C-alpha cells in the first residue's frame, strides 16, 4: 500500500509539473503573457507575509489541510470490507498451509515406504 501511495504521489507530481511546463510553452509560443492562461500550481506571498499556494486554480491553505486531517481522524477506522478481506486471506493462507503440510507428509510417507 505504501508503494502504491508513493508511486501515485510521484505520478501526480509528474502530471502537475508537465502541466506547468505546457503552460510555460504556451506563453513562449504566444510571445506575451496572457492572464487567462493559469499555471498548474502557483506559490506567492500575501500582504501578511504568509505563503499562499494554488493548485489547478484552487487556493490551498494550511487551515484546509488541518481540517481534512481532523476529518480523517474522525472517520471510524473499522472498514467492513477490509475485515472480510483479512479473514478471507487468513483462511486461504491456513488452508494452503494445511494442504502443503498434507502433501509433504504424503511424500515423506511414500519415501519411507520405498526407502
pLDDT of residue 67: 74
Domain assignment present for residue 3? The answer is no
Q: Which domain holds residue 92?
A: 80-115
Domain assignment present for residue 12? The answer is no
Domain assignment present for residue 45? The answer is no
Domain assignment present for residue 9? The answer is no
Q: Cα(22)–Cα(81) distance, rounded to whole angstroms? A: 41
Mean pLDDT of the chain: 78
Count structural domains, the chain: 1
What values do phi and psi take at 114, rounded to 5?
-90, -15
Q: pTM of the predicted model, to two decimals?
A: 0.34
Write out pLDDT tens, residues 41-69.
Answer: 666 666 666 666 666 666 666 566 677 77
Q: Greater confidence, 100 or 21? A: 100
Domain assignment present for residue 5? The answer is no
Write out pLDDT tens, residues 26-42.
Answer: 777 777 666 665 566 66
Domain assignment present for residue 19? The answer is no
pLDDT of residue 62: 59
Residue position matching grid coordinates 502504491: 4
Name beta bridge partners: 54: 42, 59
Residue 6 has pLDDT above 60, yes or no: yes
Domain assignment present for residue 115? The answer is yes
Going by C-alpha positions, the residue among 31, 53, 33 that lies closest to residue 42 is 53
CA 33 to the chain's CA centroid: 35
pLDDT of residue 19: 82
Amino acid at each position: 500500500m505504501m508503494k502504491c501511495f508513493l508511486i501515485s504521489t510521484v505520478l501526480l507530481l509528474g502530471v502537475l509539473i508537465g502541466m506547468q511546463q505546457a503552460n510555460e510553452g504556451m506563453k513562449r509560443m504566444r510571445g506575451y503573457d496572457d492572464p487567462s492562461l493559469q499555471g498548474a500550481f502557483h506559490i506567492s506571498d500575501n500582504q501578511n507575509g504568509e505563503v499562499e499556494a494554488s493548485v489547478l486554480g484552487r487556493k490551498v491553505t494550511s487551515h484546509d489541510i488541518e481540517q481534512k486531517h481532523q476529518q480523517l481522524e474522525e472517520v471510524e477506522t473499522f472498514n467492513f470490507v477490509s475485515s472480510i478481506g483479512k479473514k478471507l486471506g487468513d483462511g486461504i493462507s491456513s488452508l494452503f498451509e494445511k494442504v502443503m503440510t498434507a502433501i509433504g507428509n504424503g511424500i515423506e510417507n511414500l519415501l519411507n515406504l520405498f526407502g
